[in-house]
Structure 1
Amino acid sequence: MTVLSAPHTAVHHGRLRGAGNMVARNLLIYRHTWYLLLAEVFEPVLYLLSIGVGIGQLVGRVPGLGDSPVAYSAFVAPALLATAAMNGAMNETTFNMFAKLRLNRTYESIRATPMTAQHIALGEALWAVLRGTLITTGFLVVVSVLGLAHSAGILLVLPGAALIGFAFASAGLVVVTYLRSWQDFQFIQLAMLPMFLFATTFYPLGVYPRWLQIVVECLPLYQSIELVRQPSLGQVGFQLLVPVVYLTVFGAVSLRWAMRRIDRALTR
């Protein structure tokens, strides 16, 4: 039994080692441009200050989780944390990876080494998770400074951000293999913007009719927001298993699909 499993173990370790090499490469590059991450922290901060705090002064309190109303800014902040994790990971595996894949032909030179398409896909996904988590950490500091962290459950934001980053990084890997030019990025925005607006980022789920609530609950960003909002508002329990399972399956299926697509793109 041990003899039969040894090749599989070697392959598994080989994938992780190759993925680690990709992460190390990106770290070496981004150490000179780390300040670019601040721009991605700045965007959700603007949303939080203008809508969460600004409009929140007019809105007052809104239904939170259960029957307890919460300040509008406290309701919006966790959603923007989840969105920051999503954008940080998705931008890496779409915008940045498109240039490497289609324009700079970066992966062609990498394939000249023992690195495989699976190493590249897994490594870029891991790097995107790290990038998204770093952006979320920066935004979490701002949220804490503004006094919007009202529960010790806010500490679960970071592992939640890593899972959100994994799900959307893997989805981004799939999407980037279908892009033909920079003009195709408008289709990404066509999908991402409505999801950002409707996935309870700024409004409670109860404002929608039931049929639309079902649609919203199927969105990956909604599940991401629930994963962050629930512990942020003090609700930590078995209900968190729903977004955890959803995002894990979504990410795993997307990563498997992406590995096949990237292998095909780099070998044709």
Structure 2
Amino acid sequence: MIASLAPRAFSVFERNLFVYQRQWLIIVTGFFEPLFFLLGIGYGVGGVIGTIPYGGADVPYAAFVAPALLASAAMNGAIFDSTFNIFYKLKYGKVYDAILSTPVGVGDLAVGELLWSNLRGVIYATAFLIVMLALGLVASPLALLTPLAVIFIGFSFGAAGFAITTHMRSWKDFDFLFIVLTPLFLFSATFYPVEIYPGALRWIVELSPLTRGTHLVRSLCFGDLNWLMLVDIAYLSAISFIGYRHAVRRLGVLLLK
């Protein structure tokens, strides 16, 4: 079963690869948002703040913020591809109706789309890591493992975005997506440690998938290996599985009537 699933899923992934050969500028532009945040806040605000405590030491503010921006780059790359693009294919382009007339099933379709959305997130994260290395914002060679770590971030947000998209009825529904993503970006230990939040609010922030992704990436960038990284991976993997299963079920309802 796995041997037959992989080629069909890859054919969906390969289709996206061919399509984006003519639209590569769309992917490139997605890299600049976290870079502008790094320059404007990491260095701009960081010039006022100076250092911030992390792992028992004072670290440059830009070095603290950069791993979180890398994680958010992976989030944005995955979730925007698995929402806007998939919604168009599902509701307007009728691309999936054509694909499902081939031996490709809804499970293959979901896996192929998630592989592509995850690749987009990994591309953003890898490009941003190169910038971090060039600016001297990496404290450990373990940072070279971050492209592997962001795979968990990409799959979790990609699967969640895919599942949510199957419930959207019009482009106006995407306003709700931004209502969720903006607080996630601002309050997921991106610009300050999670410890500053009081009481129950801290535990709410800890449950943010971007908080877990940020912790995973930041730990690698600073060489701070800890058991909580396993919790990060397990949590993000659980979101990926639940989102994938729900997306497959909803695609079956919408496309196989």
TM-score by length of 2: 0.97
For 1:81 and 1:72, the matched residues in 2 are separated by 15
Alpha-carbon deviation of 1:143?
Answer: 1.4
Contact 1:118/1:263 (8 A) holds in 2: no
Corresponding position: 1:98 with 2:82 = no
Whether 1:121 and 2:117 are equivalent positions in the alignment is: no
Contact residue 128 and residue 165 of structure 1 kept, 8 A: yes
Q: Distance in 2 between matches of 1:71 and 1:21?
A: 45
Query: Is residue 134 of structure 1 aligned with residue 123 of structure 2?
Result: yes
The answer for unaligned runs of 5 or more in structure 1 is 1-10
Structure-1 separation of matches of 2:127 and 2:151: 14
The match for 1:211 is 200
Look up the match of 1:23. Answer: 13
Of the structure 1 ranges 179-188 and 136-145, higher mean CA displacement relative to structure 2 is found in 136-145
Task: Give the TM-score of the pair, scaled to structure 1.
Answer: 0.93
**CA–CA separation in structure 2 for the residues paired with 1:249 and 1:18:** 24
Is contact 1:56–1:72 with CA below 8 Å preserved after alignment?
Answer: yes
The question of 1:162 aligning with 2:172 is answered no
Asked if residue 46 in structure 1 is aligned to residue 46 in structure 2, the reply is no
Work out whether 1:73 is the aligned partner of 2:56. no
Shift of 1:131: 1.2
CA deviation profile, 1:184-225 (whole Å, cap 9, x unmatched): 000001111111111110111121102111111111110010
Unaligned runs of 5+ in 2: none
Find the counterpart in structure 1 of residue 138 from structure 2.
Answer: 149
Q: 1:155 & 1:188 partners in 2: Cα distance?
A: 31
Q: CA separation in 1, counterparts of 2:255 and 2:107?
A: 11
Paired-residue identity, %: 40
CA-CA distance at 1:237 after TM superposition:
3.4
Once residues 35 and 147 of structure 1 are traced to their aligned partners in structure 2, the CA distance between those partners, rounded to angstroms, is 27
- Paired with 1:78 and 1:157, the residues of 2 have a C-alpha distance of 9
Deviation (angstroms), 1:68: 1.1
Residue type of the alignment partner of 1:192: L
Cα distance in 1 for residues equivalent to 2:188 and 2:168? 25
Query: 1: CA distance between counterparts of 2:234 and 2:200?
Result: 23
Query: Is residue 192 from structure 1 mapped to residue 176 from structure 2 by the alignment?
Result: no
Partner of 2:49: 59
Structure 1 segments of 4+ aligned residues over 6 angstroms from their partners: none
Q: Which amino acid is the alignment partner of residue 9 of structure 2?
A: A
One-letter amino acid of the counterpart of residue 20, structure 1? F
Secondary structure of 2:24's aligned partner: coil
Which of 222, 241, 262 in structure 1 is aligned with 2:230?
241
Match of 1:264 in 2: 253
Q: Is the 8 A contact 1:153 1:236 kept in 2?
A: no
**What secondary structure is seen at the aligned counterpart in 1 of 2:30?**
helix
Matches of 2:245 and 2:6 in 1, distance apart? 15
Query: Which whole-Å CA distance do the structure 2 matches of 1:202 and 1:28 have between them?
Result: 37
Query: Are 1:88 and 1:131, in contact at CA under 8 Å, matched by a contact in 2?
Result: yes
How far apart, in 2, do the equivalents of 1:15 and 1:264 lie? 20
Counterpart position of 1:3: none
Q: CA deviation at 1:47?
A: 0.5
Q: CA RMSD in A?
A: 1.0
**Structure 1 residue 34: deviation in Å?**
1.6
How far apart are 1:96 and its partner, in Å? 0.9
Aligned residues: 257
CA distance in 2, matches of 1:48, 1:264: 43
Q: Aligned partners of 1:33, 1:150: CA distance in 2, in Å?
A: 35
Q: Name which of structure 1's ranges 231-240 and 160-169 shifts more when overlaid on structure 2.
A: 231-240
